[in-house]
């Protein structure tokens, strides 16, 4: 299993992200609730009709920071990521084909300008493609001082 990285801050990857939305709202005790959602094009191809190709996909997604106080980060207390299949394709005859998102989670628990989520993805069939994934991430937390940078 290999790690695949797609980061919205990378100019080569930025156009892979579409239909992006976010909502933020203050809640009790100086906490904030933020939800982001969207679609990412991954163009992930299977390798054989007999085996699953399995890899871990890491997504770096732009996180809304317009409402952040100066020199603060959002320190997370709770999070609920969700990643699901949005588009698949099989070029020719389908022989034992399959597509999967087996597991998902959050990489980072301190939010600055990006949030990092991951998914264990899989495709079975040499001409089977997993084209697009949908994501939805809800987080809640409080503002904390930004950690000091390098000296």
Residue 5 pLDDT:
96
Q: How many domains does the chain have?
A: 1
What does the pLDDT look like over 16-29, one tens digit per residue? 999 999 999 999 99
Give a yes or no: residue 145 inside a domain.
no
Burial track 125-148 (b if 16+ CB lie within 10 A, e otherwise): bbbbbbbbbbbebebbbebeeeee
Q: Which residues of the chain have pLDDT under 50?
A: none
Asked if residue 146 is part of any domain, the answer here is no
DSSP string, 20-82: EEEEEEEETTTEEEEEEEEEEEEEEE---SSS-EEEEEEEEEE---TTPPTTEEEEEEEEEEE
pTM above 0.85, yes or no: yes
In a domain, 86, yes or no: yes
Domain contains 130: yes
Q: Are strands 53-62 and 2-7 parallel, antiparallel or unpaired?
A: parallel
Tell whether 66 is covered by a domain. Answer: yes
110, 121 contact by CB (below 8 A): no
pLDDT value for 93: 82
149: in domain: no
Write out pLDDT tens, residues 64-76. 988 889 888 899 9
52 phi and psi, to 5 degrees?
-85, 135
Domain residue limits at 63: 2-140
Asked, for residue 147, whether it belongs to a domain, the answer is no
Residue 9 · residue 114 · CB < 8 Å: yes
Nearest to 44 by CA among 118, 122, 134, 104: 122
In a domain, 148, yes or no: no
């Amino acid at each position: 299993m290999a790690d695949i990285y797609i980061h919205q801050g990378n100019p080569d990857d930025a156009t892979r992200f579409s239909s992006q939305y976010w909502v933020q709202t203050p809640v009790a005790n100086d906490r904030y609730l933020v939800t982001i959602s969207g679609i990412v094009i991954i163009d992930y191809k299977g390798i054989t009709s007999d085996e699953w190709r399995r890899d871990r996909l890491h997504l770096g997604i732009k996180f809304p920071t317009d409402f952040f106080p100066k020199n603060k980060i959002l320190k997370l207390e709770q999070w609920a990521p969700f990643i699901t299949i949005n588009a698949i394709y099989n070029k020719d005859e389908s022989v034992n084909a399959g597509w999967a998102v087996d597991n998902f989670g959050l990489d980072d628990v301190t939010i600055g300008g990006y949030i990092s989520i991951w998914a264990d993805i899989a495709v079975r069939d040499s001409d089977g493609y997993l084209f697009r994934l949908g994501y939805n991430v809800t987080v809640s937390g409080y503002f904390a001082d930004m950690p000091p940078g390098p000296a």
